[in-house]
Structure 1
Amino acid sequence: MNWKTYSITLRYYDFLEKNFFPILKNKNISPAQISFAGFVFALLVPLGFWLHIFWGLLLILLSGFSDSIDGQYARITKRVSIQGAFWDSVLDRISDAFYLMGIFILFLKQGKWVFVAGNVILFVLLLCFLISYIKAKAESLGISCESGIMDRATRTVYLIIWLFLILIFGMKDGLMWVGLTLFMLLCFITVVQRLIEVNVKIK
């Protein structure tokens, strides 16, 4: 899912370029610093969920916000670099893992079917890594790969909405397990979509 083509996304970045990016430029903040801030927020996600779901959700919001602006800010300030793109991708994968560690903390605190939840979350982590790896490997072979309903931005938005519902309605079995299972299925579908796209283009 390419969020950059949506009208609301275009307005979001237009607002940032006019009102927020100038502040960052005046303070001489670099895209790398934004990426690192998002990474630090992600590292704190499990601790946030251990304290309270509100703090975990807030940290994912801050991390996701940082991730959503670092690339665009780099382009606006003409600081795009291969090194920056490489480290941004690496930090994103680590952040994915810490987001899911935070989700596991929620199930651990709930205390029901923890072993099952842990294994499902590990499988989801594998799927998330595959989603990114398939695209990266395809592009290294000169093949574009933009298909799939659950790219990283969509996964982050999904987690934020799901966690917000848990914050409002509580850690109810149905809400937690339906949310996790749906997340897993959508990630699995995305892996299949990308494998099919790349396989077709290779032929």
Structure 2
Amino acid sequence: MLNKYARAFATRIFTPLARFLLRLGVTPDMVTIAGTVGVVACALVLYPTGHLFWGSLGATVFVLSDTVDGTMARLRGRSGNWGAYLDSCLDRFADAALFGGLAVWFARDGGSDLTAGLALACLALGSTVSYVKARAEGLGYTANVGIAERGERLVAVLVGAGFVGLGVPLVFLQVVLGLLAVASLVTVAQRMGTVHRQALPAPAPDA
């Protein structure tokens, strides 16, 4: 749900930027790759060194490119399967870097194995959420349901880590990650249930 409204708002905001980049000869794929590289760099350089606020702020800026590249593709009239495929694949790198960077910091220097474990749980479950949907679509089903889609997961981890970087007690991030892990697990169950209902044979009509 968050994805739907956030994308609609961001599209209105970033359309002028998208037009400007197209005039410069920048392609949507360039923006997608640059945004992913930026997120990964912020997550794997700033998070493991304890700069949680700046890591979250920098990653947020680059995450917004996810809207810019889609807007550019639509303006060019060339939004298609390749762009969606590239975007989805690179999203997995960005997500892994964010949760992995947090896990490295808290396991090594942050002194909190609990937080590191929760970050890894969110990483694993978030990847499963995406896989369940992709596998369903590969089999001809739909699984566009769930309370913890990628937009919700990103907002949760970036806000939680950013606040802790500003001095909010660590328990805040632990609660956020714990709730996110549970929500991701529920989303997996929701999507599997949706596919199961579609896969069941249709009931025979009454004679």
TM bucket by the smaller chain?
A: 0.7 to 0.9
TM-score of the superposition, structure 1-length normalised?
A: 0.87
1:36 aligns with 33
Structure 1: segments with no counterpart, 5+ residues: none
1:134 aligns with 132
How far off its partner does 1:23 sit?
1.0
Tell me which protein shows more helix as a share of its residues: 1
Does residue 120 of structure 1 match 2:118?
yes
TM-score of the superposition, structure 2-length normalised?
A: 0.85
- Equivalent residue letter for 1:150: A
Matches within 5 A, 1:83-98: 83-98=82-97
Compared with structure 1, are the counterparts of its residues 2 and 161 closer, same or farther at alpha carbon in structure 2 (3 Å cutoff)? closer
173-182 or 76-85, which moves further after superposition?
Answer: 76-85
Q: Once the two structures are aligned, what percentage of the paired residues are identical?
A: 28
* Separation in structure 2 between the aligned mates of residue 186 and residue 195 of structure 1, nearest angstrom: 14
Decide which of 173, 178, 181 is 1:181's aligned counterpart: 178
Compared with structure 1, are the counterparts of its residues 84 and 11 closer, same or farther at alpha carbon in structure 2 (3 Å cutoff)? closer
* Separation in structure 2 between the aligned mates of residue 143 and residue 151 of structure 1, nearest angstrom: 18
How far off its partner does 1:99 sit?
0.7
Structure 1 residue runs of 4 or more that deviate by more than 6 Å after TM superposition? none
1:202 aligns with 199
1:80 aligns with 79
Q: Over aligned residues, Cα RMSD in angstroms?
A: 2.0
Deviations 1:136-159 (A, max 9, x none): 111112212110111112211222
Count of residue pairs brought into register by the alignment: 197
Structure 2: segments with no counterpart, 5+ residues: 201-207
Decide which of 157, 166, 169 is 1:168's aligned counterpart: 166
2:141 aligns with 143
How far off its partner does 1:134 sit?
1.0
